[in-house]
Each structure stands twice: as structure tokens, then as C-alpha cells.
Amino acid sequence: MTAAISDDRVVSKSTRRKERGLALLFLAPSLLVFGVFVFYPLIHNAYLGFYRTPPFPGLPKTYVGLDQYKDVLTSSDFFDSLKTTVLFAVMTVPVGIALGLALAVLAHQQLRGIGIYRTFFSSTVATSVAVAAVIFGTLMNPQVGLLPWLGVNPHPPILQNPTWALPAVAVTTIWQTLGLTFILMSAGLQTVPDELLEAARVDGAGAWARFWHVTLPLLSPTIFFAVVIGTIFAFQTFGQIDLLTQGGPLNKTNVLTYFIYTELIQNSNEGKAAVLAIALFLLTLLLALAQIRFLERRVTYER
Amino acid sequence: MARVVLEHVTKRFDGTTAIDDLSLEIHDEEFLVLLGPSGCGKSTALRMIAGLESPTEGTISIGERVVNDVEAKNRDIAMVFQSYALYPHMTVRRNIEFPLRSRRVAPTERDQLVSDAAESLGLAPLLDRKPAQLSGGQRQRVALARAIVRRPEAFLMDEPLSNLDAKLRVQTRAELVELQRRLSATVLYVTHDQVEAMTMGHRIAVLDTGVLQQVAPPQEVYARPANLFVARFIGSPPMNTVEGRIKRADGALVVELPGGHAPLPPPIARAVAARNLDQVVLGARPEDLRFGREDGVTASVTAVESLGHECHVACRLDDGQLVIVRQRSQADVPKPDEKVRLVAAPEVLHVFDPTTGSRVDGDT
């Protein structure tokens, strides 16, 4: 640090200007890509939110300032959708992580043929949302599905049932993201030194105490990372909603992304969609910031 | 405290034998050092006693109890790891009390035991720190405190000093010895460092390729190594060993060496004759060799290393074998390329059977 400061004093103004130019040159490619695909759309989106889309196409847009933001973000539609989104995250993230961790702990054992299980457990990483949705859509289909055949057959059918539709989509999502969670947790488990677990064994800790007092605390950064990533994914869920429930029944699966989509594509209300998109962006940003803060403050565990 | 007994213990990993038929008793209140080069199986032996590995054959007992089928957590032993294996997310206090919490010791008793252990190792001011905030020496003491806090039947130490710098190691060595005496502890101490073994152990058990070579007090291991491996492993610089043919001269046996010959003392000569050996390996500690005037084995000096209080003179025999002579610095030290004659008193010579490597002792 001190070296850099004294360097600054020595380096003349013209060299510094030259170096700044060089830095910009190197940054240019990524700035260009981010600018075109991220910053410009973001700013334009915020700008679109200032204009109310006319009820019929062809009429001029009217500038309303922050009025539309206020209207949309205080509406019960938005509130319901936000509630659904949060509920969906609450249903998917903790269960998904607990399952992923459980599988990772199982697959961490030194057993013959454990590689086969590891491959199985991580295989959903290579499964697309569409495939997952088709599999679970079929499983829950009232005519040919396995679940109705096994007697799980509420009325109305699962995916049209206001109580069960969201949990059903959540289960599909948990299954589909399980591979990634499993891989994350497996990687985390490998960072826990064997010697610590051996020391705990000699110190008189049973298997459960070792997991609870040694493995889990050392895994906490990984778990926190998985929570944030999982929540961001949950907030951006779209494919399985579109393929399984289209936001229904009674808007019970109308998460924010799907809300944005219907406002923009079906209702052609780009002003309202823009406001919703900005809201989703800010929520995601908050999560990302929380994670960066945590990772920065995280203690580096030395052996 | 209790004794620890290994009887005919063998450990095989997928075809390789790590420990081969090891029988060893660590007496009650004894400090026994298990010494050997890396990969000799000494850590495996320790881990089997701890219960972290199970023996393929043989029995292990702690006290009067056979522990082969006893879980590590129920063996009532404490272990100090080379890396200390401190729990990084816990404070020093939590680290030390972890074994007590695992055994559900009552909180008031626990606090007392923790402060006693911390006090005796000078850790009292550090109890609220995390391991990452401690120096290497302090971490090492936390690991010791965690081991002594619950008064186990025996202590197992796996190279506990090897992560310390040289100066701290000497100091900690003395502290460990004192701690062992104060607690009257049964200690099995694994190391590859012969200085630690010589200075700390009541007895040394030398292990090589999974086979026990010798168990004896340090002085005896040094003075009467049981075989060539021990002879060459203990001592720095190591014992000089030269192979030679047995010849009969004037009714006595002598060993013919490149550039001269060495007479055998009568008791050893009789033992050599009884075994019908016509070749032996002759061993001499560097400090047992001196430079002679008329007699002795001819050699030429190649290098002189001065260490201040002594110097090591490297000489080559006529066939090129290297021999080290240790001398006081004040003595008349030869110069490089000088021709010298090497002499040793017959009674300080060590004689080994070249085929088995085992020591040939005179009848007494």
C-alpha cells in the first residue's frame, strides 16, 4: 500500500494520464458488453417506468414521473406477487440446501462405487428446466401421472389446485437445483480438514456432535453462499412456472418474473412491466450486496 | 494413567503392509518415543492406538482393557496432532473445553479444569482469542491444554514440535518433558527427529518399514544399536560403516579393509567365528575414530567442516568410501588432501552381519 502511494507521488501527471488511458483501453471490451446488455437496458427500463402505457396501441405515451412507480409498487397485485415470490424462495431454498447437504454428506463416505452415486446426485445440473417441468408435469398429471395413481389426487388436480400448485412447482425446482446444491456442498465438505474430525473423535465427540460442532460451522460460508445464490435463482424462476401453471390457479404461482412477463407480453403494458422489473432488480441487488458484505467480513479459518 | 500394550499388531492397506507384527509395551507413566524415517508406519501405529485406524491383526490394550472394538471416543486417550488440529471457529477456551463438553462434564467442574489447564500452560490471557490470532507456539500449547484437560489414560503425540521454529522447539522439548513428569503421564511420542527421541524418551522404539528394530533407553540405542539400520539412523553424523573380509592373523581375527585392517576384540572374534562369518560390516562412531601415526587404515582428507566446538573431517578410504571423523576443534586438524591413518580402539567397534544386518555381540 505504502509503495503504491509513494509511487503516485513520483509518477508525473502526464504518465498518470497515459496510464489512465491505457486502463480505459483494457476495460473497453467489457464496458462495451456491459453497457449494451446491462447498463443501457437498466437505465432505459427505469426511464420507461416514468411513462404510462396508453390503453390502446397507437395513442401517445404520457409522462407521469414517479406516479406509476407509486401506483404499481403499492398495488395489491404487486404485493401478492411479491408474497408468492418470497414464499416460493422460502419453500425451495432451505429444503433444497438441507437435501443437497444430506446427499453430500452421504456421498462423502469412502465407499466402493460411491462415484456412481456422486454422478447420480449431481446429474440434475445437466437437466434443463424444460425437462424437469415435463417430468414433474407428467408425474402429477391427473390421468397418467404416478402421484395420482399412488392416491395423491386432490381435487382440483395438483397443478390447478390453489393450495398445491405452488408447492408442486417448488418441488420441481428443488429437484432441478439439487445437483448444483449437491456439488456446492460436496466442495464445501472437502475443505473441512480430516484432522479436525479425527481430533473431535479422539476428544469424545460422536458422529452427530462432530457434524454439528465441527463440520457445520466450517461449512457456514458455503451454506451462506448457497442460500444467496438459491434465493436469487428462486427470485428469477420463470421456466417451470410458464410450463406448469402459467401463474395460476388464481395467481397463486404468479411470481414476479411471471408477473412482468404477463404485463409485458400479454397486456403490452411496458410501463408497468418496467417498474416491476426495476423492483426485482433492486431486490436481487440487495441480496448480492448482503453476500459481498458477508464474504468480506468472513474469518479466514487457518489450520 | 495406564500402560498401553500392542501384541502382534499388523496393519495392511490394500496389499501394502504398514505395520508388521508389532509388539510393544508402553509402561505406565513412561515417555516412549516411536522413532523412524517418514513412511515407516509410526503414525499408523499411533492412529491404531487412538482408534482412528483398526489393526488387521493383533490386539491393542489400554490399561487392562482390550480396545480393538472400542470407538475412538471411548478409549480415553488424548492426541496432539502435528498440525495441532485446533477448531478454527472456536475460541481457545472452547477448544480446551471441547473434550469436557463431549463427555458432559458439569459446567462448574469444567470451568475449573479449563482454568487449571490454561494456567499450567500460560494460556490464561489468551482464552478468548481464536486460533488464527495465536502464534505457532501458542497454538501448540492450546493443543496440549486440550489434551491434558481431561486427565486421559495416555497421551499420543504425532510430531507435535515439527511445526515450530528451531529455537522454540528446544524450549518446548524441555517443557514437554517437565509436563510429562508433573502429570506422571503415559506418553507415546512419534517423531522422525532423533534429537527429540534422544533427549525426551525414557525409551526409544525404532521402527523401519513397519518392523520394530529396537526398543531400549536412548543411551543403549546409541551405544549398542541392534542392527545396521539403527546404527546408521541414530547419531549425527551417522555411524561409519565399512564392509570387510575376515582374516586370521597371528591366531586372532582381523577385518581386512581397503587400506588396512582392524583387529577384532576376542569376545567378538569368538562370536564371528561361531557364526562362520567370512564378511562383516564394521561400524565406528565418528567420535570413536582418531588419527594415528604409524598404524591404522590409510585415507585422504576431502573436506573439513568446523562447527565451532568441534569439527567433522571427511576422509575417503582407498576404495572411495566416505568416513567421517569427529574431533575437538582445538585438536590438530588435518588439511584437505592430506594423507591420514584412521584408528579406533577395538572395544568401540560395532560388528554387524552383512546378510541380516543384525549386531554381532561378544559373549559375556
What is the ipTM score, two decimals?
A: 0.83
Considering only the beta carbons, identify the residue of B77, B79, B131 that sits closest to A199: B79
- Domain match, A29 and A119 both: no
Task: Say if B104 is an interface residue toward chain A (CB within 8 Å).
Answer: no
Q: Looking at the domain assignment, is residue A183 inside a domain?
A: yes
Residue A298 has pLDDT above 50, yes or no: yes
| Nearest Cα to Cα of residue B161 among B82, B216, B95 | B82
Cβ atoms of residues B169 and B14 within 8 Å: no
B310 CB neighbour count, 10 Å cutoff? 15
Q: Residue A303 above 50 pLDDT?
A: no
A202 touches chain B (CB under 8 A): yes
The answer to whether residues B97 and B107 touch, using CB atoms and an 8 Å cutoff, is no
Q: For residue B148, what is the nearest residue in chain A, using CA coordinates? A: A203
Q: Is the Cβ pair B89, A204 closer than 8 Å?
A: no
A contact test, residue of B13, B81, B91, B94 with most A CBs within 10 A: B81
Give yes or no for residue A301 having a pLDDT over 60.
no
Taking the C-alpha atoms of residue B159 and residue B136, their distance in angstroms, rounded to an integer, is 14
Q: Could you report how far apart the first and last alpha carbons of chain B are, in Å?
A: 38
**Would you identify the CATH topology of the domain B4-232?**
Rossmann fold (3.40.50)
Considering the domain architecture, whether residues A29 and A173 belong to the same structural domain is answered as no
Instruction: Give the nearest partner residue to B73 out of A193, A201, A302, using CB atoms.
Output: A201
Do A25 and A168 fall within a single domain?
no
Using a CB-CB cut-off of 8 Å, the residues of chain B touching A202 are 50-52, 72-73, 75, 77-79
Amino acid, single-letter form, for residue B225: P
Q: Are residues A48 and A135 in the same domain?
A: no
Give the pLDDT confidence score for residue B346 in this predicted structure. 85
Sequence ranges of the domains in chain B: 4-232, 238-352
pTM comes to 0.80
B307 touches chain A (CB under 8 A): no
Please report the pLDDT score of residue A5 as a whole number: 46
How is residue A97 written as a grid cell? 440446501
What local confidence, expressed as pLDDT, does residue A296 receive? 66
Question: Three-class SS of residue A212?
Answer: helix
Give the pLDDT of residue A54: 82
**Do A149 and A59 have their domain in common?**
no
Using CB atoms, pick whichever of A202, A300, A302 lies closest to residue B77.
A202
Which cell numbers hold the place of B249? 592373523
pLDDT at residue number A63: 86
**Closest approach of B4 to chain A, Cα-based (Å):** 16
The whole-number pLDDT of residue A160 equals 86
State the total domains in chain A.
2
Average pLDDT score, chain A: 87
Element (H, E) at B187: strand B187-191
SS3 A102: helix
Burial class (CB in 10 A: 0-12, 13-18, 19+), B312: middle
Is the residue at A24 inside a domain? yes
In a domain, A3, yes or no: no
Chain A / chain B CB contacts < 8 angstroms: 71
CATH topology of domain B238-352: OB fold (Dihydrolipoamide Acetyltransferase, E2P) (2.40.50)
Beta strands at B290-292 and B297-306: parallel, antiparallel or unpaired: unpaired
Give the relative orientation of helices A114-122 and A165-190 as an angle to the nearest 10 degrees: 140
Question: What average pLDDT score do residues A52-58 get?
Answer: 80
Confidence (pLDDT) at B292: 84
Nearest to B72 among A201, A213, A302 (CB): A201
**Contact with chain A for residue B160, Cβ under 8 A:** no
pLDDT at A1: 40
Q: What is the pLDDT of residues B167-218, one digit of tens each?
A: 889 989 999 999 999 999 999 999 999 999 999 999 999 999 999 999 999 9
Euclidean distance between CA atoms A132 and A129, whole angstroms: 5
Look up the domain containing A274 and give its range: 69-297
Alpha-carbon span B52 to B71, nearest angstrom: 9
pLDDT in tens, chain B (364 residues): 889 999 999 999 988 999 999 999 999 999 999 999 988 999 999 999 999 999 999 999 999 899 999 999 899 999 999 999 999 999 999 999 999 999 899 999 999 999 999 998 999 999 999 999 999 999 999 999 999 998 899 999 999 998 888 888 998 999 999 999 999 999 999 999 999 999 999 999 999 999 999 999 999 999 999 999 999 999 989 999 999 999 887 778 889 888 888 888 888 888 988 888 889 999 999 999 988 887 888 999 999 998 888 899 999 998 888 999 998 876 778 888 889 999 988 888 999 999 999 999 876 5
pLDDT at B87: 94
Task: Assess A194–B contact: CB distance below 8 Å, yes or no.
Answer: no
| Same-domain check for residues A102 and A242 | yes
CATH number at residue A252: 1.10.3720.10
Q: For residue A24, how many C-alpha atoms fall within 13 Å in the half-sphere facing its CB?
A: 6
Angle at which helices A76-107 and A114-122 cross, to 10°: 170
Please check whether residues A177 and A291 belong to one and the same domain: yes
Look at strands B77-80 and B240-249 and give their pairing: unpaired
User: Does A124 lie in the same domain as A57?
Assistant: no
Q: Using one digit for the tens of pLDDT, what is the confidence trace for A149-200? A: 887 777 788 888 888 899 999 999 999 999 999 999 999 999 999 999 999 9
Cα–Cα distances (Å) from B208 to B193, B201, B212, B233, in that order, read: 14, 18, 7, 10
Q: Which of B83, B99, B146 sits opposite A303 (nearest CB)?
A: B83
Query: What is the number of H-type helices and E-type strands within chain B?
Result: 9, 20
Predicted confidence at residue B322, as pLDDT, reads 92
CB contact at 8 A, B268 and B224: no
Q: What confidence score (pLDDT) does residue A299 get?
A: 46
